[in-house]
Amino acid sequence: MLQRQSKAAPRPRRRSGVAGSAALAAAAFAVLAWLVGLVEVPGVSSPAPWVQQQVGSVPSAQLESAKTALAQIPVKGRAPKTGYTREQFGQAWADTDRNGCDTRNDILARDLVAPTFKPGTRDCTVLSGTLHDPYTGRDIEFQRGERSADVQIDHVVPLSDAWQKGAQQWPAQKRLAFANDPANLRAADGPANQEKGDGDLATWLPPNKSFRCEYAVAVVAVKAEYGLWMTQAEHDKAGELLAACRAA
């Protein structure tokens, strides 16, 4: 009598090898992307030399000074924003240096190329000029009037950020000086300034990557000068940017 031969059970498909290969390929791609600067790892700078070129450079003495200052800036959490208003920093664009011009016009005259002035204002009220905007890398034609907002004056360390990191404990006169300090002010592209809002280094950086080194150095210098602190995230980002800066 013939016996039926039992059919062998189908072998399961081996997918583990394919999945493992895919995972390895993904990991390798991630490492490669970091090496060439396509992605950022918080606190760890890419070794690729062109990544350093992307954030720009500052004079070596200035860079070393910023690194020293950063090491001394306290790291704390944000204080509550309770009580913050623009008025806490005094009159907007006051003439704190008593040169007869308000701070906004002082900064426009400093940062614009070939500024023109309203007659009869002793070269105080700026009417026009060209801004080589560091935040975006664009040239912007400033014209006082309906398009005045195309160029705005940015607080490098925003007033709200300062309020939450030490400034609410200051006397009114120090807050007024801070809000009008030329070292903390820069003429900038209006939309970029609006996008920044009250962002710190951990939440906003200039779209123009080649200016990020200089921008980080400025933030560190202002915070060190005024005794403001940083959050851990901001301190880490500042360290990352300074490590990527080139010494000119």
Strands 126-132, 113-117: parallel, antiparallel or unpaired by DSSP? antiparallel
pLDDT in tens, 106-163: 999 999 999 999 999 999 999 999 999 999 999 999 999 999 999 999 999 999 999 9
pLDDT beyond 60 at 41: no
176-204 average pLDDT score: 98
Structure tokens at 70: 């950063």
The pTM of the whole model exceeds 0.85: no
What is the pLDDT, as a whole number, of residue 45? Answer: 47
What is the pLDDT, as a whole number, of residue 24? Answer: 73
159-181 average pLDDT score: 98
Answer with the residue of higher pLDDT: 5 or 69. Answer: 69
pLDDT beyond 60 at 87: yes
Distances (CA, A) of 151 to 112, 116, 169, 193, 243: 10, 15, 31, 9, 31
Of the chain, the percentage scoring pLDDT greater than 90 comes to 77
DSSP per-residue codes, 49-74: HHHHHHH-EE-HHHHHHHHHHHHHS-
CB 151 within 8 A of CB 108: yes
Q: Which residues pair with 128 in a beta bridge?
A: 116, 143
pLDDT beyond 70 at 53: no
pLDDT beyond 50 at 52: no
CB 151 within 8 A of CB 223: no
- Under DSSP, is residue 210 helix (H, G, I), strand (E, B) or coil? helix
